[in-house]
Amino acid sequence: DIQMTQSPSSLSASVGDRVTITCRASQNISSYLNWYQQKPGKAPKLLIYAASSLQSGVPSRFSGSGSGTDFTLTISSLQPEDFATYHCQQSYSTFFTFGPGTKVDIK
Amino acid sequence: QVQLQESGPGLVKPSETLSLTCTVSGGSISSYYWSWIRQPPGKGLEWIGNIYYSGSTNYNPSLKSRVTISVDTSKNQFSLKLSSVTAADTAMYYCARDTGLGMNYWGQGTLVTVSS
């Protein structure tokens, strides 16, 4: 199975900061990488699909990049509603796997 | 607007079978893959498996021996059965629509506790 790792596991940031989260796959997954945002007590929300495509309705301050094994989610200017946990997920294989998540909280 | 709603018992006894149903509204189940995902309290997301409307399934290898996912297109529903549950199966269970490019619609989730 394909293992997903994320770094950092958590970070503290201020409103307006540029935030970058990294996701790494244990093998080449091409661009089959999706990013989700999850707030406490809520279901995950799809932000980015196919590594760099912005899901409809998601603010343009979110962007994704990468291919192969290394991927990045960037929030260009952190807003109060962005404090949440972010998960990456590979859909390259028929057995999907998620990263362990990155919690973004207020500095 | 597509909506998904999980339903089923919130408490299951150890060694018994967990059964959940996801009802899809606002759209037809007769396209896309449909997934089950779970999240133990305070932990990350674990994909359980998915089903295509035609009945084709994929399962997480670590759960495959205990999992059955089925679909009822006449009711616009799909279901999860997880047998021989233990406390380790206590989690929030979510259903979701999988477009092949990410899971873009999710249910609100239902908490299932395994306890005697």
Determine the 3-state secondary structure of A57 from DSSP: coil
Hey, which bits of chain B come out as E strands?
3-7, 11-12, 18-25, 33-39, 46-52, 57-59, 67-72, 77-82, 91-98, 103-106, 110-114
Q: pLDDT tens digits for A12-41?
A: 999 999 999 999 999 999 999 999 999 999
How does pLDDT run along chain A (107 residues), one tens digit per residue? 999 999 999 999 999 999 999 999 999 999 999 999 999 999 999 999 999 999 999 999 999 999 999 999 999 999 999 999 999 999 999 999 999 999 999 88
**Which positions in chain A touch B103 (Cβ < 8 Å)?**
34, 36, 44, 46, 89
Identity of the residue in A1, A53, A87 whose CB atom sits nearest the CB atom of B44:
A87
Q: pLDDT tens digits for B7-62?
A: 999 999 999 999 999 999 999 999 899 999 999 999 999 999 999 999 999 999 99
Mean pLDDT for chain B overall:
97
Chain A residues within 8 angstroms (CB to CB) of chain B: 1, 34, 36, 42-46, 48-50, 53, 55, 87, 89, 91, 94-101
